[in-house]
Amino acid sequence: MQNKERYNLVKAISLISIATGIVGLSLGSVAASFNIPIWIPMMLSLTVLAGAAEFTFVGMIATGANPLFAALTGIFINLRHLPFGLSVATFIEKNASRFIACHIMNDESVMLGLSQQEDENKKKAYWMCGLGICILWPIGVFIGYILSKSIPDIYIFGIDAAFPAILFALILPMLRNRTTRNRVFLGTTLSLASIPLLPTGLPVLVSMFGLLLKGKSK
In angstroms, the CA 23 to CA 94 distance is 32
- CA neighbor of 51 nearest in space, from 77, 85, 82, 72: 77
pLDDT digits (tens, 9 = 90+) for 56-106: 888 888 878 788 888 887 888 788 788 888 889 888 888 888 899 999 998
Average pLDDT, the chain: 82
DSSP state of 95: S
The answer, yes or no, to whether residue 217 has pLDDT greater than 50, is no
Q: Is 190 exposed, middle or buried (0-12, 13-18, 19+ CB in 10 A)?
A: middle
152: helix, coil or strand? coil
- Better-scored residue on pLDDT, 43 or 67: 43
DSSP letter string over 159-207? GGGHHHHHHHHHHGGGGGSHHHHHHHHHHHHHHHHHTTTS-TTSHHHHG
- Better-scored residue on pLDDT, 216 or 114: 114
Residue type, 157: F
Q: Is-contact 56 76, C-beta < 8 A?
A: no
> pTM value?
0.73
pLDDT digits (tens, 9 = 90+) for 174-187: 677 788 888 888 98
Q: For the chain, give the percent of residues with pLDDT over 90.
A: 20
- Better-scored residue on pLDDT, 195 or 4: 195
